[in-house]
Amino acid sequence: MPNNPVPVITIDGPTASGKGTVAHKVADRLGFHYLDSGALYRLAALSALRRGADLNDEHALAKLAEHLPVRFDGPVIMLANENVTEAIRAEEVGNLASKIAALPAVRQALFALQLGFRKAPGLVADGRDMGTVIFPHAKLKVFLTASTEARAQRRYKQLIDKGISANMEDLLSDLKARDDRDTHRAIAPLVPAEGAHLLDTSNMTADQAIAEVLSWYAHRAPK
């Protein structure tokens, strides 16, 4: 067990499971810092697309990831001095992020960056390997999921609400492809961490999921 006493809550899960909304709100309620680890991969993907980087050059992509000037300001994600909160949610960026997340050099480049977000009074970190790899000694680990259909519906509504056209069949296909990549990659595959609480939000509201996580944290066994 590391000597760092700062408590960490990890919330892992697949794409569009709602983990970002839950993690951000839990952090807000507890007054903790928040880490959207998936955003780091999306930021790396966005940077690679904007710079016209060779998407097959793992070393070049890792260099981009290693020096990301990222800052989380509540729900706002800043890349240097630019608000890229919406830009990194584009489907093209998300698909590339899923692909480069399978590259060992990119994951290693982002490892230290993610550890640096652990600061007092605490941290809520969401992603796919927060509880298994980055913060294995977290005070509370949650694996949050939902059916593929429920996740596709949520993503569809998000895009339509933003005025972005979307096709349900394409969204379902993309989600299944991402799930397959995330769960079968050789490095840090998407699996529940040891001792994680499982939370299926297929038929839950965000408020219900947030309340459940806060309840688990309030009743956690001291370590």
Helices (H) and strands (E) in the chain — how many of each? 8, 8
Q: Binding site: what residues are annotated? A: 13-21
Mean pLDDT, the chain cut into blocks of 10 residues (223 residues total): 79 91 95 93 95 94 91 86 92 89 91 92 95 96 95 89 88 90 84 95 95 95 46
Is residue 39 one of the residues assigned to a domain? yes
pLDDT at 4: 60
In a domain, residue 114? The reply is yes
pLDDT at position 150 is 94
In a domain, 222, yes or no: no
pLDDT at 72: 84
166 occurs within a structural domain? yes
Binding positions for ATP are 13-21
| Residue indicated by tokens 């989380």 | 72
Nearest CA to 181 among 117, 103, 98? 98
Neighbouring C-beta atoms of residue 205, cutoff 10 Å: 10
- We report the CATH number of the domain holding residue 171 as 3.40.50.300
26, part of any domain:
yes
Q: Is residue 212 within 8 Å of residue 32, measured between CB atoms?
A: no
What is residue 129's predicted lDDT score, i.e. its pLDDT?
Answer: 92
d(CA 176, CA 181): 9
* Residue 2: inside a domain: no
Please indicate, yes or no, if residue 223 is contained in any of the structural domains. no
Range of the domain at 170: 8-217
Ramachandran quadrant class, 195 (left: phi over 0; alpha: psi -120 to 50; beta: rest): left
Rounded Cα gap, residues 93 and 84, in angstroms = 12
Q: Report how many domains make up the chain.
A: 1
pLDDT on residue 2: 52
Cα separation, 179 vs 148, in Å, equals 9
> Is residue 3 domain-resident?
no
At position 116, the amino acid (one-letter code) is: G
* pLDDT at site 3: 60
